[in-house]
Amino acid sequence: MKLLQYEKSLQPLLSALPVCHGWGRGATLYHYNGYWLQLVFIAGQRLLPEQYAPRPTDILLASSPKCGTTWLKALAFAALCRLLDRNPHDLVPFIELQYLASPGKLESLQDPRLLATHLPPSLLPAAVTSTCRIIYVYRDPKDVFVSHWQFGKSTCGPLWDHAFEYWRESRRSPERVLFLRYEDMAEDAGGSLRKIAEFMGRGFSPEEESAGAVEALAELCSFENLSKQEVNKTGNFRVSDQVEFRGLKNSSFFRKGKVGDSANYLSPEMARRLDEFMQEKLHAADLAG
Ligand code: A3P
């Protein structure tokens, strides 16, 4: 990975940015254009405008970390390809992590390309939001906080600005941006799968419906099924085919997969304060807890 060389060239920029530590692994987060990002995300974000040529057939899965990215990747991949036998992150690459790790990889993929990003719209090239279709997953911030807490300050946050930007895009152009909630996916995984498939132009046929394909694929993508797969118990998260990401284990993407688990960790007072805070930040959108 050419990150070290690239890091050197970014030194003048980085030294002017506020910093803090996040992700529990000592990784530095930089406050860059309103978001707390790791160096790889900043480097990748700066390469995107010149390297990534969005195609109208591209489908971009967008999320803040810990909101259900892994699950959304599984569901969308299953909906698009109707098969699933690998870790979802190996199947759906993050665009901002590709150009240092595997230049040319995205260009070699066949249409329709299923891609992902943790970056908000304001940090993506303008052509992305005007060209691609985007599926965003949002989650109750209390559960995200608990899911995330062992990682420290949340990378790609703040969550409220991230979510608000995608929510606004989905209101402006619902045909281009599908806004999903983790809680709705948990309540009705099959219904969410149908929505995702239709949005991607791959709706289920009556034959597939009557054969039980929707239920079978939803079950395939369930927490219970994915978390027990060998690749997810023992494998490491990879940025691309060859490059692993700081020894992050695939199993770290599968903790409990429950809605409302934050109630087991936050006192009612902490939950109320977080709800009030989100209400203040997101009152214009219907997203507060
Ligand atoms: P918990 O920590 O609450 O268990 P991300 O993929 O964006 O990093 O999000 C991780 C969260 O999604 C974790 O939440 C993880 O357990 C949950 N998750 C992963 N796969 C899932 C699945 N197939 N169904 C439901 N939740 C899933």
pLDDT at 188: 98
CATH number at 242 reads 3.40.50.300
Residue 57 lies in a domain: yes
Ligand 1 pocket check for 147: Cβ under 6 Å: yes
Residue span of the structural domain in which 240 resides: 15-285
Q: Token pair 């009030």 is at which residue?
A: 276
pLDDT digits (tens, 9 = 90+) for 185-210: 999 999 999 999 999 999 999 999 99
Provide the strand spans (E) within the chain: 19-22, 27-32, 35-38, 59-63, 114-117, 133-138, 177-181, 236-238, 244-249
**Which tens digit of pLDDT belongs to each residue from 146-170?**
998 755 667 898 999 999 999 999 9
The pLDDT score that the predictor gives to residue 261 is: 95
The pair of structure tokens assigned to 30 is 């930089």
Q: What is the pLDDT of residue 234?
A: 84
Ligand 1 touching residue 257 (CB < 6 A): yes
Dist. CA 51 → ligand 1 center (Å): 30
Q: Is residue 5 part of a domain?
A: no
SS3 73: helix
Ligand 1 centroid–CA 9 distance in Å is 35
* Number of domains within the chain: 1
Beta carbon of 88 within 6 Å of any ligand 1 atom: no
What is residue 288's predicted lDDT score, i.e. its pLDDT?
Answer: 61
Q: What is the reported pTM?
A: 0.93
* Amino acid (one-letter) located at 21: H
So what's the ipTM on this one? 0.99
**pLDDT given for residue 276 in this prediction:** 92
Query: Cα 42–48–53 angle (5° rounding)?
Result: 165
Residue numbers in the chain where pLDDT is lower than 50:
none
> Nearest residue CA, atom 20 of ligand 1?
71
In a domain, 1, yes or no: no
